[in-house]
A and B are shown apart, each in its own frame.
Chain A
Amino acid sequence: GAGVSQTPSNKVTEKGKYVELRCDPISGHTALYWYRQSLGQGPEFLIYFQGTGAADDSGLPNDRFFAVRPEGSVSTLKIQRTERGDSAVYLCASSLSGRVPIETQYFGPGTRLLVL
């Protein structure tokens, strides 16, 4: 596609439920990033994929969060046993290769997650 797409645009769930958030990067981009943006804050890094592998998952807050990218294109962020504090906008970004010299990260419109 022309840009990074994310689905769903909005997701409302109940505390304790499982959710999946999907990211479709720009075609040909091997690097993919997930960020979380809480209200009134800047985005915070969660995880970075280079191809199919998670090259850096140091930003995942705990083991309830997991992400996959099985074919090196679409990625899914999975959150188990959701908590109200997980409510945020989840942003996905992609770049051509992710290697230095650094390339620009292009962002999707995000998924707004609300945990009731």
Chain B
Amino acid sequence: AQTVTQSQPEMSVQEAETVTLSCTYDTSENNYYLFWYKQPPSRQMILVIRQEAYKQQNATENRFSVNFQKAAKSFSLKISDSQLGDTAMYFCALFEGGSEKLVFGKGMKLTVNP
């Protein structure tokens, strides 16, 4: 069964600093995709970054990058130069190639302080 675990319920960071959010997952598939979504108080889930499991190179999107450790089934998100607008819930999610659904972790509340 697919599972996604986010063990840190909450973190805070000072503006302009770097923070890393952790995520581990379990799947028996070789073809899968991993995502980080951000959910601000407006409730809308916004895609932050995605990673295809078959790609060895870690994905990057501007200030956001991932550390994808396939053997360890770990998928952490690094946010550089944190901004106040990064304050939100962050969800790690897994999509197996043979299924039709995203499986989410419980989420982590990130607060960026001025």
Contacts and interface: CB of A to CB of B under 8 A. Distances in A.
B97 to A, nearest CB: 5
Contact of B100 (A56, A104, A107): A56
Contacts of A101: 52
B95 A109 contact: no
A27 B44 CA distance: 18
A48 to B, nearest CB: 4
B42 A48 contact: no
Interface residues of A, number: 27
Contacts of B105: 42
B33 interface: yes
Interface residues of B, number: 26
Contacts of B91: 42-43
Given A109-B44, A110-B43, A110-B44, A102 B97 contact: yes
The 8 closest A-B pairs by CB, nearest first: A42-B104, A45-B101, A107-B45, A48-B100, A56-B100, A109-B44, A110-B43, A102-B33
Given A106-B47, A109-B43, 20 more contacts: A33-B100, A33-B101, A33-B102, A41-B106, A42-B105, A42-B106, A42-B107, A43-B45, A43-B102, A44-B104, A45-B101, A45-B103, A56-B101, A59-B101, A91-B43, A91-B45, A100-B31, A102-B33, A102-B97, A105-B102
Interface of A: 33, 35, 40-45, 48, 55-56, 59, 89, 91, 93, 98, 100-102, 104-110, 112
